[in-house]
Amino acid sequence: MADPFTLPPLPFADTALAPVISANTLGFHYGKHHKAYVDNLNKLVAGTDFADMDLETVVKKAGSNAGVFNNAAQIWNHTFYWHSIAPGGGAPSGKLAAAIDAYGGLDKLKADLGDAAKTQFGSGWAWLVSEKGKLAIQKTGNADTPMARGVKCLLTIDVWEHAYYLDYQNRRPDYVGAVIDKLLNWNFAAENFAKG
């Protein structure tokens, strides 16, 4: 019988994000870390009700089952992160652009998202989210995700060390700045925002 969860393909070639994120980093981050979360989750859910649920439902229902939650949420977070970045990044448009103006403008949003990513203590994530149609910035530690609490996620930046250490060593701010300036996938954010 096939495992219930599989490693989703990357939406770009492993060289597509260079020089911001190298193929070497992607190889370890996606091919080792992300894959390990999938493998671990499949072992943890074998023979349980979780094996019959989709990934988002597992994240929301795992509750105090830390092993299942951590691995399921990390699969979800990483898959979301791969779509939150793209070669060239693009620019906000449509309803998202209007929401960014209402937030205080793109420069303010980028600065606030960057601050969240740089100041997240230890491993975690910085998020652009929509709360009742208004943009907000959140940060979460370890595997935590706003999605688990029903918050609409638009973009994320991974600030676990494995996301940047091979390319930037301890220079997390340099990694964060490069991702924000060159890779944020505003089309993905706009699609998520349009879904409400």
CB 102 within 8 A of CB 134: yes
**Tokens read off for 64:** 């105090």
**Residue 145 placed within a domain:** yes
Q: How confident is the model at residue 180 (pLDDT cuts 50, 70, 90)?
A: very high
What CA–CA distance (Å, rounded) separates 59 from 188? Answer: 21
Q: What is the pTM of this model?
A: 0.96
Domain coverage including residue 109? 94-194
- CATH of residue 100's domain is 3.55.40.20
Q: Report the number of distinct structural domains present in the chain.
A: 2
What CA–CA distance (Å, rounded) separates 184 from 17? Answer: 11
Looking at the chain, the whole-number percentage of residues with pLDDT higher than 90 is 94
125, 178: one domain: yes
CB 126 within 8 A of CB 113: yes
Asked if residue 196 has pLDDT above 80, the reply is no
**What average pLDDT does this structure show over 173-192?**
97
Q: Which of 84, 114, 135 is the last residue of a domain?
A: 84
| Long-range contacts (CB closer than 8 Å, 24 or more residues apart) made by 31-37 | 33/78, 33/160, 33/162, 34/7, 34/74, 34/75, 34/78, 34/79, 35/7, 37/71, 37/72, 37/74, 37/75, 37/78
What is the pLDDT at residue 195?
87
**pLDDT tens per residue across span 155-175:** 999 999 999 999 999 999 999
